[in-house]
Structure formats: C-alpha cells, structure tokens
C-alpha cells in the first residue's frame, strides 16, 4: 500500500470512528470543526498532488517515453524498423492518480465549496423535536441564513462584520447556552432591554400583551390529540402557537443560569428584563418547549442565523417552502 496509502487509510479509519461514535451518541459531534479539518487535510493533499506527486508521475512518464524513443532510434540504426511493444499502456499506469490521492485531493474542491457555503451563506439544520410546532415539525430539514446577523469566523463563531440584528419574531438557530456543543432553534420574543412577561400563559412585552387570535384546534398526529391553537402577531410577524389547557401557567424546574437575577418567578409565571447583548427566546409549542423561561438568555455570540426555509421533509413533501 505504501506510506501515503497507509496514512490515508488511517485517517479514514479515524473519521469513521468519529462519525460512528457521533451517530451512536457516544459523544457530541462538531460538524463545523470536522468540515474545517477535512478542508485543511484535503488541501494539503491537493497541494502535494499539484506540486510534487503529479510532476513526479509526469517526469517518470516522460523518462519512459525518452527511453523508448532512444531504443527505437538504436534499433533503426541497426536496420530494424519493426519494434514490438506499446508504451501507452505503461505511460497510462504511471500517470494514473493513486486511490489515496483520488479520495483526498480529488475531493478538496467539493469540500471547500461546502465549507464556504455552510460557513458564510446557508447552513442546513434538522428539526429534532416538536417544540416549534405548528411552525416546524420534527423531521423538517431547514436552511439557516448565516450572514443576516453578521459575518462570523468558522468554528469559533466570532463576529467580524456586523450585517444586522435579530428582530422580534425571527426564528433563530443558536448554540445552546448551557452546552454550546448543541444547536437549538426557537423564536425571538424579547430583544435587549425588553421586559418579557409570561404570566398565566399570556405573553406581554414592555407592558403590552402580544396580539393573538383564536384558530381551530391543532391535531398532533404524533400524540393523537387536539391542542389549542392561536395566531400570534409578534413584531409584525404572524405565526401560530399552541397552548395546552392541562398544563399550569407557572414555570416549573427553572435552572440556575447566568443573569438569573434579571428574572422574577411566581405562581403565575415569569417576568424577565433582557440584558444588553442577549435575547429571550421561546418555542411556538409554548407548553412543550424548554426555552429562555427555563435556562435563561441567548447571548449574541451564540447566534448562528435565521431559519427561513424548509427544503425537505421525507415524510411530507408538502412541508417544503418558506416560513416565518
């Protein structure tokens, strides 16, 4: 196999172990870091191919052709015109890219394009639960706009160019504050400086109740039950929310989190003053969502982008389309 073939096989084995452990929940994977490392590794192979391996193969093929030409000339000098042998097949073998370059350097352009698109333009995300029902269903595959809230460096997510801020009502994907290795999706309810109140299942922002209107009950096929459904107007963005009459209005099980002193919990619910540089988020499935009411505020540095489009749901193709 050779040294480079063995090294490449070892790298692929390590990749399979990492992906396997991630798939079987042995550890939490970091796809952004993995894609960054794959880009660097395939770039190294691509440069080695362009600067060393390909020129070496071409030089070997040229040397073979020169030797063949010299042999033909010598035979012709001796009066032998008919020469057996065809060197084209041998040259083809010399010029052929070995498998370990084909599966590394050959993949670099594709991986680079994916890395740039995912890092700076759009990132795919799979809805893992029903906390955003009825807007988003479990199994929806969505796109996240990565540049709307600022251009950030890949992997470390440090903002380097400000391009905009989240608006009240935006559906956002962010790194979960208690464990930044995990991505969450919720709707922005409170902006920096807002006072957000969730009391007796009524949402109030800066002293004004958020406008709602009754809709026909929503039937959840997974739970096989009907749930109260409302149309909510949040910052001019209309969307649907769900409430369960059998769930209490107070918040049970709130964690200890940074800036918890900005929130006041009572038997009716919770009131929070959103700190500067932070956001208060909630799921549209209000009684089945663990969100800012339980674990606190989302720092601006944790934001990944605004979710805006369902590009696939293998169980229901009718889900494809834009949403708010």
Confidence of residue 73 (pLDDT cuts 50, 70, 90): confident
Answer with the one of 115, 141, 175 that is the final residue of a domain.
115
Would you state the pLDDT for residue 83? 60
Are both 155 and 304 inside the same structural domain? yes
Are both 190 and 240 inside the same structural domain? yes
Out of 91, 186, 292, 304, pick the active-site residue: 186
Are both 129 and 111 inside the same structural domain? no
Are both 108 and 178 inside the same structural domain? no
The total number of structural domains in the chain stands at 2
Q: Which residues contact 267 (CB under 8 A, 6 or more apart)?
A: 250
Q: What is the CATH number of the domain that holds 245?
A: 2.10.109.10
Are both 33 and 134 inside the same structural domain? no
pLDDT of 18 higher than 90? yes
Are both 286 and 186 inside the same structural domain? yes
142: left (phi over 0), alpha (psi -120 to 50) or beta: beta
Are both 111 and 128 inside the same structural domain? no
Annotated catalytic, 129? no
Annotated catalytic, 223? no
Q: What is the mean pLDDT of the chain?
A: 92
**What is the reported pTM?**
0.87
Are both 279 and 131 inside the same structural domain? yes
Are both 315 and 271 inside the same structural domain? yes
Are both 79 and 139 inside the same structural domain? no
Answer with the one of 115, 146, 174 that is the final residue of a domain.
115
Confidence of residue 84 (pLDDT cuts 50, 70, 90): low
Are both 206 and 317 inside the same structural domain? yes
Tell which residue, 278, 323, 272, has the closest CA to residue 303.
278
What is the Cα–Cα distance from 57 to 254, expressed in whole angstroms?
65
Answer with the one of 80, 115, 150 that is the final residue of a domain.
115
Are both 103 and 138 inside the same structural domain? no
- Stated as kind and residue range, the H or E segment containing 15 is helix 3-23
Out of 131, 146, 289, 304, pick the active-site residue: 131
Enclosing domain of residue 185: 124-322
Confidence of residue 12 (pLDDT cuts 50, 70, 90): very high
Give the lowest-confidence range in 151-155, 222-226, 274-278. Answer: 222-226
pLDDT of 76 higher than 90? no
């Amino acid at each position: 196999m050779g040294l480079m073939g063995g090294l490449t096989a070892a790298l692929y084995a390590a990749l399979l172990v990492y992906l396997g452990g991630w798939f079987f929940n042995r550890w939490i994977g970091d796809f952004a870091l993995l894609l960054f490392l794959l880009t660097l590794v395939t770039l190294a192979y691509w440069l080695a191919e362009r600067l060393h391996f390909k020129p070496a193969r071409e030089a070997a093929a040229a040397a073979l052709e020169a030797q063949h030409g010299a042999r033909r000339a010598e035979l012709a000098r001796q009066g032998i015109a008919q020469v057996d042998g065809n060197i084209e097949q041998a040259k083809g073998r010399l010029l052929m890219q070995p498998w370990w370059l084909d599966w590394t350097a050959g993949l670099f352009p594709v991986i680079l394009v994916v890395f740039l698109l995912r890092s700076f333009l759009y990132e795919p995300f799979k809805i893992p639960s029903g906390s955003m029902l009825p807007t988003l269903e479990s199994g929806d595959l969505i796109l996240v706009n990565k540049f709307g809230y600022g251009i950030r460096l890949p992997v470390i997510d440090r903002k380097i160019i400000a391009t905009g801020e989240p608006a009240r009502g935006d559906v956002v994907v962010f790194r979960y504050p208690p464990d930044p290795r995990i991505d969450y999706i919720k709707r922005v309810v409170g902006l920096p400086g807002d006072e957000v109140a969730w009391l007796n299942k009524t949402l109030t922002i800066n002293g004004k109740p958020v406008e709602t209107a009754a809709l026909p009950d929503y039937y959840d096929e997974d739970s096989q039950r009907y749930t109260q459904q409302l149309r909510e107007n949040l910052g001019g963005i209309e969307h649907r929310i769900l409430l369960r009459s059998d769930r209490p209005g107070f918040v049970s099980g709130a964690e200890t989190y940074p800036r918890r002193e900005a929130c006041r919990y009572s038997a009716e619910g919770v009131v929070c003053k959103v700190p500067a540089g932070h956001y208060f988020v909630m799921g549209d499935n209000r009684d089945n969502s663990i969100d800012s009411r339980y674990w606190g505020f989302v720092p601006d540095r944790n934001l990944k982008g605004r979710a805006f489009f369902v590009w696939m749901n293998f169980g229901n193709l009718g889900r494809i389309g834009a949403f708010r």
